[in-house]
Structure 1
Amino acid sequence: MNPTLPEPPADAQSASLILQNLIRNEIDKYDGWIPFSRFMELALYAPVYGYYTGGSHKIGAAGDFITAPALSPLFGQSLAKQINDLLPQTAGTVYEFGAGTGELAATLLPQLVNGGLQHYCIIEVSPELAERQRQRIRQSVPEWADKVIHLTELPDTFDGIIIGNEVLDAMPCEVVRYGENGFEQAGVSLNISDRHFEWGYRPLADSALLTTAAAYLPPLPGYTSELHPAQHAFVRTLAGKLVRGAIILIDYGFDAAQYYHPQRNQGTLIGHYRHHTVHDPFFYPGLTDLTAHVNFTDIAQAGTDGGLDLIGYATQANFLLNLGITDLLEACGASDSTTYLREAAALHKLIGQHEMGELFKVIAFGRGVEVDWQGFTYGDICHKL
């Protein structure tokens, strides 16, 4: 246990131990080694005990991280302006992935009704989070709760606006390094003496992963980074199901040239635990969020390979500024009021260069909708992809 980190309560530790034993059994089942992507999938999504499927609160002051919708309603109100321009060009349904506590949905619902919103579908794999979302919406905007439909699986087709805030970074990734004999795939093994989790490396045999690794990773001895086949497949799936509408994805990450810069030789994989950064991915599985940055070049490729129009790619700061977030702040009241000061502080985090403003990006795709979006009026950096 790291002495600088708060110790989990006994019931949380017990849940983590159960999950650890489940993962150990899987490692034993597959001859002592599983790909890191499988470890990450189990740590985050194993039924009952995974980070996102367990019962602990993950988001907010008492959780492990704070998302943009939870920082300020100005985020959702700005995004609503863009969605309202697009909704009338579709069947009027919004589909949200990664809805978290329901904060973004609660902000968007009253903003979208006059734009022709018919249904607000939340696709959610976590029963605990789904219930929190229902409660948040019922408490905040009960008059719009009947617009909300919870789904546990993807619909056959999408006709509307798909949004995902911090969805891609939570998808299991592969970890690859360049070794003496070429690319190696990182996996998880068990220490012989105490059966604790440890890294194990094998030659990268998967031809698709090998092709992707050769395309992105510099062949430098020991260079280690992440590949994201799950993200790529997710976007390709959405592209295949989108008959009309748009996809708006907001997350932290880089274009490929930045992501796989020679100096970023240890990748971006990291853990979050009670607002602390954790560099050990095996720290209390099920209680620690595991995440990696998004390679937006690969996301753009996935969408365009799926036949979508790449509408724009911009920093979160420019996207929100284009949509008039500063005007929304001015409407919060007098500049010395408590509300204004609180929202001004949140705005700084949302658009500040050294906060979320530059690291977070917005990428958007469309099919059968207008391609000139207000959110990308200034600062579109698609050329970097």
Structure 2
Amino acid sequence: MTAKLPDPGADERAHSDHLSALLREEIASHGPMPFSRFMERCLYAPGLGYYSAGKTKFGADGDFVTAPELGTLFARCVVRAVQPVLASLGPDADVLEIGGGSGAFAEAALRALDAAGHAPRRFMILEPSADLRERQRERLHANLPAGLAARVSWLDGPLETEWEGVIFANEVIDALPTTRITAREGEIYEEHVVLDGEGRFTRSDRPADALVRGAVRHVERDLGRDFADGYRTEILPQLPYWMQAVAGTLRRGAMVFVDYGYTRGEFYLPERTDGTLRAFYRHRAHNDVFHLPGLQDLTASVDFTALAEAGNNAGFGVAAYLSQARFLIAAGLQDVFEDDYLGLTDEAARFRLSQEVKKLTLPDQMGERFQVMMFARDIDPGVLPAEVMAADQGSRL
């Protein structure tokens, strides 16, 4: 499959070769590298990882398109869902976006919140990539009124003091470095990366440690069956700790996570024998995760049951779980679309707006592949969006 992928330029090739050399040195010095470590280095190594370097990631010129990149409809619907929560918390309520992407969501959300009279005291972006942080800063300061842009701040790490407000994360959990495991003869093995005789990256299984083994056994107990011999898949044993770190200090408020994934029963279907891990390079999905380290995105689908458990363990209740299409429609997509459509006179612009709705909601686009999970903590249930709560499919979890 990789033979059909576009060739990188000379500078890109040199960039990838540099990261590859560092990965080989680490493997040669320390032995087999857990795949989760390999993925973390490929995505986040300072100055070299996919999200840490200067390569365009989002939009037509990047490797994939996220919902906020399509236009403003997505962000404005999210705002309609969380605006009552922010209003109920008062003027000191804040918003925290985890992984700000290009800044498109922050820009559209801040405009919508300001127009509704509920601009947050602070709009914080937790962004580990210095490159993306600078792109976000440039975009927001160039496109937002100075007073609104001044509300934006960037965090180096999770907040350490208690606060109130809303957390939003779009396509974040799928980018957490995942652990790959295989079941064999009743034992659990963790996938590692080693070098073959020609110095190429290749896969090697090693007995899983207690943390990984315990996480797998928990999933098996929940499913009511053991994984079949040879079954290979992904798991995030660190997810509860990650959730506690990023959300543990949110004393009152709500969280909204949007990502592609499944309930646990769907994620670990017996026929899904090689998991969900894949790579994205210039809008092409493929399975060679060792191809051009640092130049392609690596991602795995989300076990939303595991996300619900992590939120519960951090002190939150699941308020709603539903497909992206159901969420957007319940949050008023029709009204937002009609207002924009009627305000346009250019037929080309109207067509683009209609295409945006289709991409966000059609089952074979983002509508059913992406799921939305909303959490709440210590707030009046009455301030949660009634239409979204009515569309909840949390019983599937």
Question: Shorter chain as normaliser: what TM range?
Answer: over 0.9
The correspondence for 1:160, drawn from 162, 165, 181, is 165
Distance 2:66 2:143 in 1: 18
Is the CA contact (8 Å cut-off) linking 1:216 and 1:260 kept in structure 2?
Answer: no
Distance 1:370 1:250 in 2: 23
Partner of residue 199, structure 1: 203
Structure 1: which amino acid aligns with 2:176?
M
Q: Deviations over 1:325-362 (max 9, x none)?
A: 01111112349832222111111110111111111111
1:140 to partner: Cα distance: 2.1
The correspondence for 2:237, drawn from 229, 236, 255, is 229
Partner of residue 216, structure 2: 213
Structure 1: which amino acid aligns with 2:135?
R
1:83 to partner: Cα distance: 2.0
**Residues 1:41 and 2:45 are matched in the alignment:** no
After TM superposition, the structure 1 = structure 2 runs for residues 234-249 of structure 1, keeping only pairs within 5 Å, are 234-249=242-257
**Residues 1:263 and 2:274 are matched in the alignment:** no
1:135 to partner: Cα distance: 1.6
Structure 2: which amino acid aligns with 1:167?
V
**Residues 1:8 and 2:11 are matched in the alignment:** no
Secondary structure of 2:3's partner? coil
Is the CA contact (8 Å cut-off) linking 2:211 and 2:237 kept in structure 1?
Answer: no
Distance 2:261 2:111 in 1: 30
1:141 to partner: Cα distance: 1.5
Partner of residue 345, structure 1: 355
Partner of residue 147, structure 1: 151
Partner of residue 103, structure 1: 104
Greater Cα shift, 83-92 or 63-72? 83-92
**Alpha carbons of structure 1 residues 322 and 256: separation in structure 2 relative to 1, 3 Å:** same
Secondary structure of 1:312's partner? strand
1:116 to partner: Cα distance: 4.4
Distance 1:119 1:237 in 2: 19
**Alpha carbons of structure 1 residues 118 and 89: separation in structure 2 relative to 1, 3 Å:** same
Partner of residue 183, structure 2: 178
Greater Cα shift, 370-379 or 37-46? 370-379
Moved >4 Å (runs of 4+)? none
Q: What are structure 1's unaligned runs of at least 5 residues?
A: none
Identity of aligned residues (%): 35
Secondary structure of 2:159's partner? coil
Partner of residue 118, structure 1: 121
Distance 1:340 1:379 in 2: 28
Secondary structure of 1:235's partner? helix
Q: How many residue pairs end up in the alignment?
A: 382
What TM-score do the two structures reach when normalised by structure 2? Answer: 0.93
Distance 2:237 2:24 in 1: 24
Secondary structure of 1:183's partner? strand
Structure 1: which amino acid aligns with 2:10?
A
The correspondence for 1:328, drawn from 313, 336, 340, is 336
1:181 to partner: Cα distance: 5.1
RMSD: 1.6
Partner of residue 223, structure 2: none
1:253 to partner: Cα distance: 0.4
Partner of residue 384, structure 1: 396
**Alpha carbons of structure 1 residues 378 and 221: separation in structure 2 relative to 1, 3 Å:** same
1:305 to partner: Cα distance: 1.5
1:49 to partner: Cα distance: 0.4
Structure 1: which amino acid aligns with 2:328?
L
Partner of residue 73, structure 1: 72
Distance 1:215 1:230 in 2: 14
**Residues 1:19 and 2:7 are matched in the alignment:** no
Distance 1:125 1:307 in 2: 25
Partner of residue 57, structure 2: 58
Is the CA contact (8 Å cut-off) linking 1:318 and 1:378 kept in structure 2?
Answer: no
